[in-house]
Amino acid sequence: MLKCFIYCAFLGTLPGLRPALAAAPADTVATPAAPVPRLTIGLASATRTTYLQRAPAPAEDKGYLGTTLTYQAPKGFIGSLYLNHSYNYQTISEPFINYGELMAGWQSVGNSDTYWTVQYTRLFVYGESALVQSSLRNDFSASVSQFFSFATASLSADVFVGSTHDVILTAELSHRFELPVFGHDTLSIEPTVELGAGSQHFYTSSLATTSRVRTRKRGGGSTVATVTNEPSAPAFSTLGYTLSVPVTLAAGRYSVLATPSYLLPLHVPTGGYDASFFYFTLGMSRTFW
């Protein structure tokens, strides 16, 4: 995964699905499987919510529960629906489903050592706990992964369009170990390092505050105006590093994924949460076809 929190936490054994989201972002890449149609449902829970290596303060974030439904066609089409529930929804009185994504794209098929995807994602935000990405509506993305004998290297580019506009680049390097467990079941461990870079208008927008200013009129009276104060966005720069160790147990049509991660944010705008922290994601998926 290149943008973790969203897809990798649920379907770490499937190729082409992107985190975070948080999560999410937010994320591993597996060797492409044979070109057969697949329908998969996944469920995951995390102790923190991250998106593009940005996160709310701990007092505003208790983690999330997310589910995704994914279809992969033999010729390369891929589509998915993701729904997110924040564990903090009762505290801030928001809808049970606070965030969602609808994605359609195309992925390479076959047994090549190079794997690529192109995708369009529509983002839906319904609650304050998804404030970090609330200004984003459309994501046009592409990624390429190269499988070497010693490691997998990936690079992705995202162009976000909404009330703000952002460009994000993500590079990832991982090494996968596979161990036999029972029969044809496998246990894989994949230490991964991820580096993100890009603009941060989406994040500074989430940090904006409003105030009411009273202005006196000539001849008496006054008017009240609402003023929005938004911190300046840093120039295109590194967003941070994420170190993770996804551990996946694949048993037939089922997969269970446990991922401890450490996020080190960089160049955080004024007022943003800039502390490093550990978080943990636990997910499972079931393939029906």
pLDDT tens by residue, 139-164: 999 999 999 999 999 999 999 998 88
Q: What is the pLDDT of residue 227?
A: 59
Q: What is the pLDDT of residue 175?
A: 97
Query: In this structure, what CATH number is given to the domain that contains residue 150?
Result: 2.40.160.40
- Percent of the chain at pLDDT above 70? 78
User: Which one is predicted more confidently, 276 or 252?
Assistant: 276
Provide mean pLDDT across the span 238-249. Answer: 97
Q: How far apart are CA 217 and CA 219, in angstroms?
A: 6
Residue 137 in any domain: the answer is yes
Q: What is the pLDDT of residue 208?
A: 76
Residue 198 has pLDDT above 50, yes or no: yes
Question: Per-residue confidence at 233, pLDDT binned at 50, 70, 90?
Answer: confident
Residue 214 in any domain: the answer is no
Residue 4 in any domain: the answer is no
- Percent of the chain at pLDDT above 90? 55
Minimum mean pLDDT range among 15-19, 97-101, 195-199, 223-227: 15-19
Please give the tally of structural domains in the chain.
1
Q: The tokens of 279 are what? A: 């978080």
Residue 176 in any domain: the answer is yes
The mean pLDDT value of the chain amounts to 83
Angle value at C-alpha 226, between 223 and 228, nearest 5 degrees:
150
Residue 13 in any domain: the answer is no
Domain that holds residue 73: 38-207+234-287
Quickly list DSSP for the chain.
--STTSSTTT-TTSTT------------------S--EEEEEEEEESS--BTTB---GGG---EEEEEEEEE-TTSEEEEEEEEEETTTTTTT--S--EEEEEEEEE--SS-SEEEEEEEEEEEE-SGGGGGGTTEEEEEEEEEEEE-SS-EEEEEEEEEEESSEEEEEEEEEE--EEEE-STT-EEEE--EEEEEEE--HHHHHHT-EEEEEEEEPTTS-EEEEEEEE-PPPPPSEEEEEEEE--EEEEETTEEEEEEEEEEEE-SPPTTS----EEEEEEEEEEE--
Q: What is the pLDDT of residue 17?
A: 39
Q: What is the pLDDT of residue 178?
A: 92
Q: What pLDDT, in 10s, does the model give residues 5-56?
A: 444 444 444 433 333 333 333 333 444 454 568 999 999 999 999 999 999 8
Residue 120 has pLDDT above 60, yes or no: yes
Q: The tokens of 192 are what? A: 């991964």
Residue 15 in any domain: the answer is no
Nearest Cα to Cα of residue 212 among 200, 223, 227: 227
Provide mean pLDDT across the span 226-238. Answer: 77
Residue 205 has pLDDT above 90, yes or no: no
Residue 19 in any domain: the answer is no
- Highest mean pLDDT (candidates 14-18, 125-129, 193-197): 193-197
Residue 196 in any domain: the answer is yes
Residue 92 has pLDDT above 90, yes or no: no
Q: What is the pLDDT of residue 6?
A: 42
User: Which one is predicted more confidently, 25 or 203?
Assistant: 203
Q: How far apart are CA 265 and CA 16, in angstroms?
A: 25
